[in-house]
Amino acid sequence: MTNPLSISTLQTISEVEEQEWNKCVSSNHPFIQYGFLNALEESGSATAETGWMPYHLVLRDHDKVVGVAPQYIKGHSQGEYVFDHSWAHAYERAGGRYYPKLQLSIPFSPVTGPRFLAIGGEKENEYKSLLMSGAKQIATKLGISSVHATFVQEHDLPLLEDNGYLIRTGEQFHWVNQDYTDFDDFLSQLSSRKRKAIRKERKEANHADLTFEIKQGAEITEEHWDAFFAFYIDTGNRKWGTPYLTRSFFSLLGPAMGSDVVLFLVKREGRYIAAALNLKSDECLYGRYWGCIEDHRFLHFETCYYRAIDYAIEHGLKRVEAGAQGPHKLARGYLPTKTYSAHWMRDPGFHDAVGDFLKAETRDMNAEIQYLNNHSPYKKN
């Protein structure tokens, strides 16, 4: 009897119907939606030319799409936020070829979420497992060195390990809403010294020359995107040399994602001078990009962290995830949170060597998270 299950790959996400992709998404997590991924490709931000060649997985049961996974053939390790440059150098010094590699991730987005998407029901884990093993089979068929699934969900870790993936632990800083009534209620849970420091920062950032706006969904015009893109380019040129996203991405993002796009804007003397771009789900506000063209003390903290907390409290969101890096977020109420990625190396010796490295790295990461939690700004029980 012919196996009704089959896996194929897509050169662009547009090769599958939007509704077929999104029916495999069990939540309204914005970054895994067809609209977001398609905007990256259609705008020229995530393409073969930028080193992100789409090679998405589609699992079908007969002719019905039952699982998908955002996958790319990568010619570098940029825009991933899970750093494997040392692995690449070590493998190439030993005579191997690390690139290209397969990357199951959301380009330029260090946000935990679904990576192996399957329609719900009793076969969900079977479908996910087939996608996980399918990525390895494709890497083997193409002679690709490795498979990397980044910012995976914790509940998928056992299934990934069963499929031979090594688990890597990382760290981000997230703010958690403890049913606060307002920002002062949140501040009341901090130590006196931290509470005073935040109030001082907010007072200095909210001086009379600045006005703050929130634009969401259809309220965001091309004028707003023009202003934001100028800030994004300025910050990107200073931080990583070449900004990842094109101007057209933002024009496509608005219509594709609707009210899930939230833009915090700052004006001085009638002119926009700073902004922070966020996306949201039913539970979380995700801080993504920030930029400014004037230097104002504590404006970054106010726009990206404190205004995000205000928004989350007002709209009943459970969390604010403020992106990669940032131990400085700890003093502002954002606590260390584990993130996870999964890795498989086609070369068994290389796979074992990476596994040994990850055992030591995980011990260090767990110790660091414990240390940071011991120095939390919140009152001690």
Whether the model clears a pTM of 0.75, i.e. scores above it, the answer is yes
Residue 117's H or E segment, with its range, is: strand 117-118
Share of the chain above pLDDT 70, in %: 98
Q: How far apart are CA 131 and CA 254, in angstroms?
A: 30
Q: How far apart are CA 375 and CA 358, in angstroms?
A: 25
Backbone angles phi, psi at 230, to 5 degrees: -60, -40
In this predicted structure, what is the pLDDT of residue 218? 93
Q: How far apart are CA 296 and CA 155, in angstroms?
A: 42
Arithmetic mean of pLDDT, 36-50 = 97
Q: What domains are defined for the chain?
A: 5-171+337-374 (3.40.630.30), 178-317 (3.40.630.30)
- Res. 238 pLDDT band, cuts 50 70 90: low
Instruction: List, for residues 60-100, the tens digit of each pLDDT value.
Output: 999 999 999 999 999 999 999 999 999 999 999 999 999 99
Alpha helices per DSSP H over 258-347: 299-301, 307-315
Arithmetic mean of pLDDT, 20-32 = 94
Q: Which residues of 18-51 are buried (b: 16+ CB within 10 A; e: fewer)?
A: eeebebbbeeebbbbbbbbbbbbbbbebbbeebb
In this predicted structure, what is the pLDDT of residue 239? 57
In this predicted structure, what is the pLDDT of residue 1? 54
- Res. 212 pLDDT band, cuts 50 70 90: very high
Q: How far apart are CA 45 and CA 107, in angstroms?
A: 9
Non-local (6+) Cβ contacts of 52 within 8 A are 40, 45, 46, 72, 74, 79, 103, 107
2 pLDDT higher than 80: no
Instruction: List, for residues 248-291, the tens digit of each pLDDT value.
Output: 999 999 999 999 999 999 999 999 999 999 999 999 999 999 99
